[in-house]
Structure 1
Amino acid sequence: MEIRNGRVRGLDLHLARLDAATRELFGEGLDGGLVCERVRGALRTAGVTDAGVRVYVHLPPGDGTVRPVTTVIARPPTPEPEAPQRLTAVTYQRPAAHLKHTGVFGQSYHLRRAQAAGFDEALLTGPDGIVAEGAITNVGFVEGDTVVWPDAPALDGITMLLLRRELDRLGLPWVRRPVCLADIPSFDGAFVSNSLGVAPVGRIDELSVPVDVPVVGRLRSLYANAEWDVI
Protein backbone atom coordinates (compact mmCIF):
# COMPACT_ATOMS: atom_id res chain seq x y z
CA MET A 1 0.00 0.00 0.00
CA GLU A 2 1.09 3.55 -0.72
CA ILE A 3 0.69 5.75 2.36
CA ARG A 4 0.61 9.54 2.28
CA ASN A 5 0.43 11.65 5.45
CA GLY A 6 -0.40 8.52 7.43
CA ARG A 7 -3.38 7.70 5.22
CA VAL A 8 -4.15 5.07 2.59
CA ARG A 9 -6.91 4.54 0.04
CA GLY A 10 -9.16 1.52 0.53
CA LEU A 11 -7.92 0.50 3.98
CA ASP A 12 -10.96 -1.74 4.51
CA LEU A 13 -10.17 -3.56 1.25
CA HIS A 14 -6.55 -4.11 2.27
CA LEU A 15 -7.55 -5.50 5.67
CA ALA A 16 -10.27 -7.73 4.22
CA ARG A 17 -7.88 -9.24 1.68
CA LEU A 18 -5.21 -9.86 4.32
CA ASP A 19 -7.77 -11.50 6.60
CA ALA A 20 -9.21 -13.74 3.86
CA ALA A 21 -5.77 -14.88 2.69
CA THR A 22 -4.62 -15.57 6.25
CA ARG A 23 -7.73 -17.68 6.86
CA GLU A 24 -7.16 -19.64 3.65
CA LEU A 25 -3.45 -20.24 4.23
CA PHE A 26 -3.19 -20.57 8.00
CA GLY A 27 -6.70 -21.39 9.20
CA GLU A 28 -7.23 -18.28 11.32
CA GLY A 29 -8.15 -14.67 10.79
CA LEU A 30 -5.97 -11.58 11.02
CA ASP A 31 -6.80 -8.72 13.37
CA GLY A 32 -7.06 -5.53 11.34
CA GLY A 33 -6.25 -3.44 14.42
CA LEU A 34 -2.98 -5.34 14.80
CA VAL A 35 -2.10 -4.68 11.16
CA CYS A 36 -2.71 -0.96 11.55
CA GLU A 37 -0.70 -0.89 14.78
CA ARG A 38 2.24 -2.59 13.06
CA VAL A 39 2.03 -0.21 10.10
CA ARG A 40 2.02 2.82 12.40
CA GLY A 41 5.00 1.35 14.24
CA ALA A 42 6.92 0.90 11.00
CA LEU A 43 6.21 4.51 10.02
CA ARG A 44 7.35 5.77 13.44
CA THR A 45 10.53 3.70 13.26
CA ALA A 46 11.30 5.10 9.82
CA GLY A 47 10.38 8.61 10.97
CA VAL A 48 8.06 9.17 8.00
CA THR A 49 4.39 9.67 7.19
CA ASP A 50 4.76 8.87 3.45
CA ALA A 51 5.88 5.37 2.47
CA GLY A 52 5.34 2.32 0.34
CA VAL A 53 4.37 -0.35 2.86
CA ARG A 54 4.27 -4.13 2.57
CA VAL A 55 2.53 -6.36 5.11
CA TYR A 56 3.73 -9.97 5.27
CA VAL A 57 1.91 -12.73 7.17
CA HIS A 58 4.05 -15.84 7.49
CA LEU A 59 4.78 -18.87 9.64
CA PRO A 60 8.21 -18.89 11.29
CA PRO A 61 10.12 -22.19 11.50
CA GLY A 62 8.71 -24.41 14.21
CA ASP A 63 7.07 -27.67 15.15
CA GLY A 64 3.67 -26.92 13.65
CA THR A 65 2.28 -25.20 16.74
CA VAL A 66 3.60 -21.72 15.90
CA ARG A 67 1.19 -18.91 15.06
CA PRO A 68 1.35 -16.66 12.00
CA VAL A 69 3.61 -13.63 12.36
CA THR A 70 2.83 -10.21 10.89
CA THR A 71 5.79 -8.22 9.59
CA VAL A 72 5.65 -4.74 8.08
CA ILE A 73 8.30 -3.16 5.86
CA ALA A 74 8.24 0.56 5.00
CA ARG A 75 10.13 1.82 1.96
CA PRO A 76 10.31 5.25 0.29
CA PRO A 77 7.09 6.16 -1.54
CA THR A 78 6.79 5.60 -5.28
CA PRO A 79 5.12 8.23 -7.48
CA GLU A 80 2.23 7.42 -9.80
CA PRO A 81 3.36 6.70 -13.38
CA GLU A 82 2.73 9.60 -15.73
CA ALA A 83 3.60 8.19 -19.16
CA PRO A 84 1.40 5.68 -21.02
CA GLN A 85 2.58 2.17 -20.22
CA ARG A 86 4.10 -0.26 -22.72
CA LEU A 87 3.21 -3.93 -22.24
CA THR A 88 4.53 -7.13 -23.75
CA ALA A 89 2.56 -10.38 -23.61
CA VAL A 90 4.16 -13.48 -22.07
CA THR A 91 2.76 -16.94 -21.50
CA TYR A 92 2.66 -17.27 -17.73
CA GLN A 93 0.03 -17.37 -14.99
CA ARG A 94 0.85 -17.06 -11.30
CA PRO A 95 0.21 -20.10 -9.09
CA ALA A 96 -2.70 -19.48 -6.69
CA ALA A 97 -3.20 -16.23 -8.56
CA HIS A 98 -6.04 -15.05 -6.29
CA LEU A 99 -3.53 -14.71 -3.44
CA LYS A 100 -0.85 -12.05 -3.09
CA HIS A 101 2.02 -14.29 -2.03
CA THR A 102 5.80 -14.40 -1.90
CA GLY A 103 6.24 -16.96 -4.69
CA VAL A 104 6.99 -14.25 -7.24
CA PHE A 105 9.98 -15.64 -9.18
CA GLY A 106 7.99 -16.22 -12.37
CA GLN A 107 6.37 -12.82 -12.54
CA SER A 108 9.61 -11.07 -11.49
CA TYR A 109 11.51 -12.97 -14.18
CA HIS A 110 9.08 -11.91 -16.89
CA LEU A 111 8.89 -8.33 -15.60
CA ARG A 112 12.67 -7.94 -15.71
CA ARG A 113 12.84 -9.39 -19.22
CA ALA A 114 10.05 -7.07 -20.33
CA GLN A 115 11.82 -4.02 -18.90
CA ALA A 116 15.12 -5.09 -20.45
CA ALA A 117 13.34 -5.18 -23.81
CA GLY A 118 12.08 -1.60 -23.37
CA PHE A 119 8.63 -2.28 -21.95
CA ASP A 120 7.17 -1.15 -18.64
CA GLU A 121 5.18 -4.23 -17.72
CA ALA A 122 4.61 -7.86 -18.67
CA LEU A 123 1.08 -8.92 -19.64
CA LEU A 124 0.53 -12.41 -18.25
CA THR A 125 -1.50 -14.73 -20.46
CA GLY A 126 -2.67 -18.33 -20.33
CA PRO A 127 -3.75 -21.00 -22.83
CA ASP A 128 -4.99 -19.70 -26.19
CA GLY A 129 -3.77 -16.20 -25.32
CA ILE A 130 -6.28 -15.62 -22.53
CA VAL A 131 -5.34 -12.36 -20.76
CA ALA A 132 -5.03 -12.57 -16.97
CA GLU A 133 -3.16 -9.65 -15.38
CA GLY A 134 0.09 -7.74 -15.42
CA ALA A 135 3.14 -8.90 -13.52
CA ILE A 136 2.52 -6.18 -10.90
CA THR A 137 -0.78 -4.71 -12.09
CA ASN A 138 -4.34 -5.46 -13.01
CA VAL A 139 -5.15 -4.70 -16.62
CA GLY A 140 -8.45 -3.40 -17.91
CA PHE A 141 -9.90 -2.49 -21.28
CA VAL A 142 -12.42 0.05 -22.54
CA GLU A 143 -15.35 -0.81 -24.79
CA GLY A 144 -17.42 2.27 -25.46
CA ASP A 145 -18.39 3.56 -22.01
CA THR A 146 -17.82 0.18 -20.32
CA VAL A 147 -14.77 -0.98 -18.39
CA VAL A 148 -13.87 -4.61 -19.12
CA TRP A 149 -11.70 -6.59 -16.74
CA PRO A 150 -10.40 -9.97 -17.93
CA ASP A 151 -12.06 -13.01 -16.40
CA ALA A 152 -9.06 -15.25 -15.73
CA PRO A 153 -7.03 -16.35 -12.69
CA ALA A 154 -5.65 -13.10 -11.26
CA LEU A 155 -5.23 -11.14 -8.06
CA ASP A 156 -8.09 -8.81 -7.21
CA GLY A 157 -5.91 -5.75 -6.71
CA ILE A 158 -7.00 -3.14 -4.19
CA THR A 159 -7.01 -0.32 -6.73
CA MET A 160 -9.15 -2.41 -9.08
CA LEU A 161 -11.60 -3.18 -6.25
CA LEU A 162 -11.66 0.48 -5.26
CA LEU A 163 -12.40 1.51 -8.85
CA ARG A 164 -15.22 -1.03 -9.11
CA ARG A 165 -16.73 0.30 -5.90
CA GLU A 166 -16.57 3.87 -7.20
CA LEU A 167 -18.06 2.85 -10.56
CA ASP A 168 -20.92 1.08 -8.77
CA ARG A 169 -21.48 4.10 -6.55
CA LEU A 170 -21.89 6.32 -9.61
CA GLY A 171 -23.86 3.76 -11.63
CA LEU A 172 -21.17 3.49 -14.31
CA PRO A 173 -20.85 0.23 -16.25
CA TRP A 174 -18.16 -2.42 -15.86
CA VAL A 175 -18.02 -6.13 -16.63
CA ARG A 176 -15.69 -9.04 -16.12
CA ARG A 177 -15.41 -11.41 -19.06
CA PRO A 178 -12.78 -13.47 -20.91
CA VAL A 179 -10.40 -11.40 -23.02
CA CYS A 180 -7.91 -12.90 -25.49
CA LEU A 181 -4.92 -11.26 -27.10
CA ALA A 182 -6.74 -11.45 -30.42
CA ASP A 183 -9.55 -9.31 -28.95
CA ILE A 184 -7.34 -6.39 -27.93
CA PRO A 185 -7.42 -4.48 -31.27
CA SER A 186 -11.21 -4.26 -30.98
CA PHE A 187 -11.09 -2.27 -27.72
CA ASP A 188 -11.13 1.51 -27.53
CA GLY A 189 -8.40 1.70 -24.91
CA ALA A 190 -6.62 -0.06 -22.06
CA PHE A 191 -5.16 0.76 -18.67
CA VAL A 192 -3.27 -0.78 -15.77
CA SER A 193 -3.83 -0.26 -12.06
CA ASN A 194 -2.01 -1.05 -8.84
CA SER A 195 -1.08 0.68 -5.59
CA LEU A 196 0.65 3.43 -7.59
CA GLY A 197 -2.58 4.40 -9.31
CA VAL A 198 -4.10 4.13 -12.78
CA ALA A 199 -2.17 4.60 -16.02
CA PRO A 200 -3.24 4.36 -19.66
CA VAL A 201 -1.68 1.70 -21.86
CA GLY A 202 -0.17 3.06 -25.06
CA ARG A 203 1.32 -0.08 -26.54
CA ILE A 204 0.96 -3.84 -26.30
CA ASP A 205 3.83 -5.43 -28.19
CA GLU A 206 3.57 -3.93 -31.70
CA LEU A 207 0.00 -2.71 -31.27
CA SER A 208 -0.53 0.99 -30.57
CA VAL A 209 -3.40 1.60 -28.16
CA PRO A 210 -5.28 4.94 -28.00
CA VAL A 211 -4.39 6.81 -24.81
CA ASP A 212 -6.71 9.83 -25.00
CA VAL A 213 -9.71 7.81 -23.82
CA PRO A 214 -12.34 9.58 -21.68
CA VAL A 215 -13.15 6.45 -19.66
CA VAL A 216 -9.50 6.04 -18.61
CA GLY A 217 -9.41 9.70 -17.66
CA ARG A 218 -12.54 9.16 -15.57
CA LEU A 219 -10.93 6.19 -13.79
CA ARG A 220 -7.84 8.25 -12.99
CA SER A 221 -10.06 10.98 -11.60
CA LEU A 222 -12.08 8.52 -9.51
CA TYR A 223 -8.91 7.13 -8.01
CA ALA A 224 -7.41 10.57 -7.41
CA ASN A 225 -10.55 11.65 -5.56
CA ALA A 226 -11.09 8.44 -3.58
CA GLU A 227 -11.24 8.85 0.18
CA TRP A 228 -8.05 8.45 2.21
CA ASP A 229 -8.35 6.41 5.43
CA VAL A 230 -6.27 7.08 8.54
CA ILE A 231 -4.01 4.15 9.44
Structure 2
Amino acid sequence: MTESTMPVIEIDGRAATVETLWPVVGGYGHFTAMQVRGGRVRGLSFHTERLEGATRELFGTELDAERVRGYVRHALGRGGSGDASVRVNVFQPVEGPGAPVAVMVSVRPPVTMSAGLQRVKSVPYQRPAAHLKHVGGFGQAYYGRRVAAEGYDEALLVGPGGEIAEGAITNIGFVAGDMVVWPDAAPYLRGVTMRVLERELGHAGVPQTRRPLRLADVTAYDGAFLANARGTAVVAEIDGVPVPTSAQLLARIAELYESTPWDEI
Protein backbone atom coordinates (compact mmCIF):
# COMPACT_ATOMS: atom_id res chain seq x y z
CA MET A 1 0.00 0.00 0.00
CA THR A 2 1.37 3.41 -0.94
CA GLU A 3 0.37 6.91 0.05
CA SER A 4 -1.15 7.42 -3.39
CA THR A 5 -3.67 4.61 -2.93
CA MET A 6 -7.06 4.93 -1.30
CA PRO A 7 -7.43 3.51 2.20
CA VAL A 8 -8.98 0.07 2.56
CA ILE A 9 -12.17 0.14 4.65
CA GLU A 10 -13.99 -3.07 5.46
CA ILE A 11 -16.92 -3.84 7.74
CA ASP A 12 -17.13 -7.41 9.01
CA GLY A 13 -14.64 -8.50 6.37
CA ARG A 14 -16.47 -6.96 3.39
CA ALA A 15 -15.77 -3.76 1.47
CA ALA A 16 -17.63 -0.88 3.09
CA THR A 17 -20.61 0.64 1.28
CA VAL A 18 -22.62 3.78 1.88
CA GLU A 19 -25.31 1.66 3.52
CA THR A 20 -22.95 -0.17 5.89
CA LEU A 21 -21.01 2.99 6.74
CA TRP A 22 -24.10 5.01 7.61
CA PRO A 23 -24.46 3.77 11.22
CA VAL A 24 -20.84 4.75 11.91
CA VAL A 25 -21.59 8.47 11.55
CA GLY A 26 -23.91 8.32 14.57
CA GLY A 27 -20.88 9.01 16.77
CA TYR A 28 -21.39 6.22 19.33
CA GLY A 29 -18.74 3.55 19.43
CA HIS A 30 -15.14 2.83 20.27
CA PHE A 31 -11.92 1.94 18.52
CA THR A 32 -8.27 1.09 18.79
CA ALA A 33 -5.45 2.28 16.55
CA MET A 34 -2.23 0.43 15.87
CA GLN A 35 0.90 0.50 13.78
CA VAL A 36 1.48 -2.76 11.94
CA ARG A 37 4.83 -3.86 10.54
CA GLY A 38 5.22 -7.11 8.67
CA GLY A 39 1.78 -8.21 9.81
CA ARG A 40 2.74 -7.73 13.45
CA VAL A 41 1.80 -5.21 16.15
CA ARG A 42 3.13 -4.29 19.57
CA GLY A 43 0.83 -5.04 22.50
CA LEU A 44 -1.76 -7.03 20.57
CA SER A 45 -3.33 -8.46 23.73
CA PHE A 46 -3.80 -4.93 25.09
CA HIS A 47 -5.60 -3.91 21.90
CA THR A 48 -7.97 -6.88 22.07
CA GLU A 49 -8.60 -6.41 25.79
CA ARG A 50 -9.49 -2.78 25.10
CA LEU A 51 -11.94 -3.74 22.35
CA GLU A 52 -13.56 -6.52 24.37
CA GLY A 53 -13.96 -4.43 27.52
CA ALA A 54 -15.36 -1.37 25.76
CA THR A 55 -17.81 -3.51 23.78
CA ARG A 56 -19.20 -4.95 27.01
CA GLU A 57 -19.43 -1.51 28.61
CA LEU A 58 -20.96 0.38 25.67
CA PHE A 59 -23.12 -2.31 24.08
CA GLY A 60 -23.69 -5.00 26.70
CA THR A 61 -22.40 -7.77 24.48
CA GLU A 62 -19.23 -9.74 23.81
CA LEU A 63 -16.66 -9.35 21.04
CA ASP A 64 -14.50 -12.29 19.98
CA ALA A 65 -10.83 -11.31 19.67
CA GLU A 66 -10.13 -13.90 16.98
CA ARG A 67 -12.95 -12.47 14.89
CA VAL A 68 -11.26 -9.07 15.06
CA ARG A 69 -7.85 -10.48 14.20
CA GLY A 70 -9.32 -12.23 11.18
CA TYR A 71 -10.87 -9.01 9.92
CA VAL A 72 -7.58 -7.15 10.36
CA ARG A 73 -5.64 -9.84 8.50
CA HIS A 74 -8.16 -9.75 5.67
CA ALA A 75 -8.03 -5.96 5.33
CA LEU A 76 -4.23 -5.97 5.42
CA GLY A 77 -4.26 -8.52 2.60
CA ARG A 78 -6.39 -6.22 0.49
CA GLY A 79 -4.08 -3.33 1.33
CA GLY A 80 -1.25 -5.23 -0.27
CA SER A 81 1.26 -4.74 2.53
CA GLY A 82 1.94 -5.91 6.05
CA ASP A 83 3.06 -2.38 6.97
CA ALA A 84 0.18 -0.05 7.76
CA SER A 85 -1.74 2.17 10.14
CA VAL A 86 -4.77 0.15 11.22
CA ARG A 87 -7.85 1.39 13.02
CA VAL A 88 -10.51 -0.99 14.35
CA ASN A 89 -13.91 0.56 15.10
CA VAL A 90 -16.75 -1.23 16.88
CA PHE A 91 -20.34 -0.02 16.53
CA GLN A 92 -23.95 -1.24 16.50
CA PRO A 93 -25.68 -1.24 13.11
CA VAL A 94 -29.00 -1.54 14.94
CA GLU A 95 -29.15 0.08 18.37
CA GLY A 96 -30.36 -1.87 21.37
CA PRO A 97 -28.99 -3.47 24.54
CA GLY A 98 -27.11 -6.62 23.61
CA ALA A 99 -27.67 -6.16 19.86
CA PRO A 100 -24.86 -7.49 17.63
CA VAL A 101 -21.92 -5.24 16.91
CA ALA A 102 -20.06 -4.69 13.66
CA VAL A 103 -16.31 -4.28 13.22
CA MET A 104 -14.87 -1.75 10.80
CA VAL A 105 -11.19 -2.03 9.86
CA SER A 106 -9.42 0.85 8.12
CA VAL A 107 -5.98 0.36 6.59
CA ARG A 108 -3.80 3.33 5.66
CA PRO A 109 -0.08 3.91 5.09
CA PRO A 110 2.18 3.47 8.14
CA VAL A 111 3.30 6.48 10.18
CA THR A 112 5.83 7.14 12.93
CA MET A 113 6.17 9.60 15.78
CA SER A 114 7.42 13.03 14.69
CA ALA A 115 11.19 13.17 14.91
CA GLY A 116 12.93 15.44 17.38
CA LEU A 117 12.08 17.05 20.67
CA GLN A 118 8.44 17.90 21.29
CA ARG A 119 6.89 21.21 22.33
CA VAL A 120 3.65 20.80 24.30
CA LYS A 121 0.97 23.33 25.25
CA SER A 122 -1.66 22.78 27.94
CA VAL A 123 -5.35 23.27 27.15
CA PRO A 124 -8.39 23.34 29.48
CA TYR A 125 -10.07 20.14 28.36
CA GLN A 126 -10.70 16.62 29.60
CA ARG A 127 -12.27 13.85 27.55
CA PRO A 128 -15.65 12.50 28.70
CA ALA A 129 -15.46 8.83 29.74
CA ALA A 130 -11.72 9.20 29.42
CA HIS A 131 -11.01 5.54 30.27
CA LEU A 132 -12.52 4.58 26.90
CA LYS A 133 -11.00 5.13 23.47
CA HIS A 134 -14.32 6.28 22.08
CA VAL A 135 -15.24 8.03 18.85
CA GLY A 136 -16.27 11.67 18.62
CA GLY A 137 -13.01 13.29 19.69
CA PHE A 138 -13.89 16.80 18.53
CA GLY A 139 -12.38 18.45 21.60
CA GLN A 140 -9.05 16.71 21.10
CA ALA A 141 -8.95 17.58 17.41
CA TYR A 142 -10.00 21.18 18.10
CA TYR A 143 -7.26 21.81 20.63
CA GLY A 144 -4.72 19.76 18.71
CA ARG A 145 -5.20 21.98 15.66
CA ARG A 146 -5.12 25.15 17.73
CA VAL A 147 -1.81 24.38 19.40
CA ALA A 148 -0.34 23.15 16.09
CA ALA A 149 -1.18 26.53 14.55
CA GLU A 150 0.92 28.08 17.33
CA GLY A 151 3.88 25.85 16.52
CA TYR A 152 3.38 23.18 19.18
CA ASP A 153 3.54 19.44 18.59
CA GLU A 154 0.89 18.24 21.03
CA ALA A 155 -1.90 19.53 23.28
CA LEU A 156 -1.76 18.56 26.96
CA LEU A 157 -5.23 18.09 28.44
CA VAL A 158 -5.56 19.49 31.94
CA GLY A 159 -8.28 20.00 34.55
CA PRO A 160 -9.48 23.31 36.03
CA GLY A 161 -6.73 23.25 38.67
CA GLY A 162 -3.98 22.43 36.19
CA GLU A 163 -4.29 18.68 36.82
CA ILE A 164 -2.40 16.83 34.09
CA ALA A 165 -4.44 14.10 32.39
CA GLU A 166 -3.02 13.11 28.99
CA GLY A 167 -2.08 14.44 25.59
CA ALA A 168 -4.67 14.93 22.87
CA ILE A 169 -3.47 11.74 21.16
CA THR A 170 -0.78 10.58 23.59
CA ASN A 171 -0.03 9.62 27.15
CA ILE A 172 2.57 11.67 28.98
CA GLY A 173 5.04 10.40 31.54
CA PHE A 174 7.68 12.09 33.66
CA VAL A 175 11.12 11.11 34.92
CA ALA A 176 12.29 11.63 38.50
CA GLY A 177 15.82 10.30 38.91
CA ASP A 178 15.67 6.59 38.06
CA MET A 179 11.85 6.43 38.30
CA VAL A 180 9.03 6.90 35.80
CA VAL A 181 6.08 8.87 37.13
CA TRP A 182 2.68 8.63 35.45
CA PRO A 183 0.19 11.45 36.19
CA ASP A 184 -2.87 10.38 38.14
CA ALA A 185 -4.69 13.59 39.08
CA ALA A 186 -7.33 13.52 36.35
CA PRO A 187 -9.15 10.86 34.29
CA TYR A 188 -7.16 9.56 31.32
CA LEU A 189 -6.97 6.72 28.83
CA ARG A 190 -4.45 4.04 29.73
CA GLY A 191 -3.08 3.75 26.23
CA VAL A 192 -1.71 0.58 24.69
CA THR A 193 1.78 2.04 24.33
CA MET A 194 1.62 3.18 27.96
CA ARG A 195 0.71 -0.37 28.97
CA VAL A 196 3.52 -1.80 26.85
CA LEU A 197 5.97 0.58 28.51
CA GLU A 198 4.67 -0.28 31.98
CA ARG A 199 5.27 -3.94 31.21
CA GLU A 200 8.71 -3.47 29.68
CA LEU A 201 9.87 -1.07 32.40
CA GLY A 202 8.76 -3.62 34.97
CA HIS A 203 10.69 -6.40 33.23
CA ALA A 204 13.77 -4.14 33.17
CA GLY A 205 13.47 -3.35 36.87
CA VAL A 206 12.80 0.35 36.35
CA PRO A 207 10.63 1.68 39.21
CA GLN A 208 7.31 3.32 38.34
CA THR A 209 4.66 5.14 40.28
CA ARG A 210 1.45 7.09 39.74
CA ARG A 211 0.83 10.34 41.53
CA PRO A 212 -1.27 13.50 41.11
CA LEU A 213 0.64 15.92 38.89
CA ARG A 214 -0.18 19.52 38.04
CA LEU A 215 1.37 21.99 35.67
CA ALA A 216 3.03 23.71 38.62
CA ASP A 217 4.92 20.45 39.34
CA VAL A 218 6.60 20.15 35.94
CA THR A 219 9.81 21.97 36.87
CA ALA A 220 10.47 19.48 39.68
CA TYR A 221 11.05 16.62 37.22
CA ASP A 222 14.10 15.52 35.26
CA GLY A 223 12.28 14.99 31.99
CA ALA A 224 9.05 14.10 30.24
CA PHE A 225 8.03 11.95 27.30
CA LEU A 226 5.03 11.27 25.07
CA ALA A 227 3.83 7.84 24.00
CA ASN A 228 1.29 6.47 21.54
CA ALA A 229 1.09 3.78 18.86
CA ARG A 230 3.50 5.78 16.69
CA GLY A 231 6.26 5.53 19.29
CA THR A 232 7.80 7.66 22.03
CA ALA A 233 9.25 11.17 22.01
CA VAL A 234 11.06 13.41 24.47
CA VAL A 235 9.34 16.62 25.60
CA ALA A 236 11.53 19.74 25.55
CA GLU A 237 8.98 22.36 26.55
CA ILE A 238 5.59 22.65 28.27
CA ASP A 239 3.82 26.00 27.99
CA GLY A 240 7.07 27.69 27.09
CA VAL A 241 8.86 26.29 30.16
CA PRO A 242 11.95 24.24 29.25
CA VAL A 243 11.95 20.61 30.37
CA PRO A 244 15.28 18.74 30.83
CA THR A 245 16.01 16.35 27.98
CA SER A 246 19.31 14.69 28.92
CA ALA A 247 18.18 12.19 31.57
CA GLN A 248 19.53 8.73 30.80
CA LEU A 249 16.18 7.20 31.64
CA LEU A 250 14.57 9.03 28.70
CA ALA A 251 16.87 7.21 26.30
CA ARG A 252 16.26 3.95 28.17
CA ILE A 253 12.50 4.35 27.74
CA ALA A 254 12.91 4.76 23.98
CA GLU A 255 15.23 1.74 23.81
CA LEU A 256 12.85 -0.45 25.76
CA TYR A 257 9.95 0.44 23.51
CA GLU A 258 11.92 -0.08 20.30
CA SER A 259 13.06 -3.51 21.51
CA THR A 260 9.54 -4.63 22.41
CA PRO A 261 8.57 -7.85 20.60
CA TRP A 262 5.96 -7.61 17.85
CA ASP A 263 2.94 -9.93 18.01
CA GLU A 264 1.58 -11.79 15.00
CA ILE A 265 -1.95 -10.65 14.18
TM-score of the aligned structures, taking structure 1 as reference length: 0.97
Match for residue 190 of structure 1? Answer: 224
- Percentage of identical aligned residues: 52
Q: Using the alignment, how far apart are the partners of 1:65 and 1:183 within structure 2?
A: 45
Structure-to-structure mapping, 1:143-182, within 5 angstroms:
143-151=176-184, 152-182=186-216
Given the alignment of the two structures, is residue 122 of structure 1 paired with residue 122 of structure 2, yes or no? no
Secondary structure, aligned partner of 1:57: strand
Alpha-carbon deviation of 1:127? 2.2
Structure-to-structure mapping, 1:191-206, within 5 angstroms:
191-206=225-240
Q: Using the alignment, how far apart are the partners of 1:8 and 1:205 within structure 2?
A: 33
Q: Using the alignment, how far apart are the partners of 1:27 and 1:52 within structure 2?
A: 28
Q: Using the alignment, how far apart are the partners of 1:194 and 1:172 within structure 2?
A: 20
Match for residue 29 of structure 1? Answer: 62
Match for residue 8 of structure 2? Answer: none
Alpha-carbon deviation of 1:72? 0.4
In the alignment, residue 116 of structure 1 is paired with which amino acid? Answer: A
Q: Using the alignment, how far apart are the partners of 2:99 and 2:44 within structure 1?
A: 28
Alpha-carbon deviation of 1:167? 1.3
Change (3 A) 1:172 1:26: same
Match for residue 15 of structure 2? Answer: none
Alpha-carbon deviation of 1:171? 2.0
Alpha-carbon deviation of 1:110? 0.3
In the alignment, residue 187 of structure 1 is paired with which amino acid? Answer: Y
Q: Using the alignment, how far apart are the partners of 1:65 and 1:215 within structure 2?
A: 46
Select which of 99, 104, 110 maps to 1:77. Answer: 110
Match for residue 138 of structure 2? Answer: 105
Change (3 A) 1:5 1:119: same
The alignment of Structure 1 onto Structure 2 pairs a total of residues equal to: 231
Change (3 A) 1:132 1:62: closer
TM-score of the aligned structures, taking structure 2 as reference length: 0.85
Structure-to-structure mapping, 1:42-81, within 5 angstroms:
42-61=75-94, 66-81=99-114
Contact 2:59 2:98 in 1 (8 A): no
Contact 2:159 2:165 in 1 (8 A): yes
Match for residue 131 of structure 1? Answer: 164
In the alignment, residue 81 of structure 1 is paired with which amino acid? Answer: S
Alpha-carbon deviation of 1:196? 0.6
- CA offsets 1:122-174 (integer angstroms, 9 cap, x no match): 00000210000000000011111110111020000001000001111122101
Change (3 A) 1:86 1:62: same
In the alignment, residue 260 of structure 2 is paired with which amino acid? Answer: A
Moved more, 78-87 or 115-124: 78-87
List alignment gaps of at least 5 residues for structure 2: 1-33
In the alignment, residue 105 of structure 1 is paired with which amino acid? Answer: F
Moved more, 95-104 or 62-71: 62-71
Select which of 204, 211, 226 maps to 2:245. Answer: 211
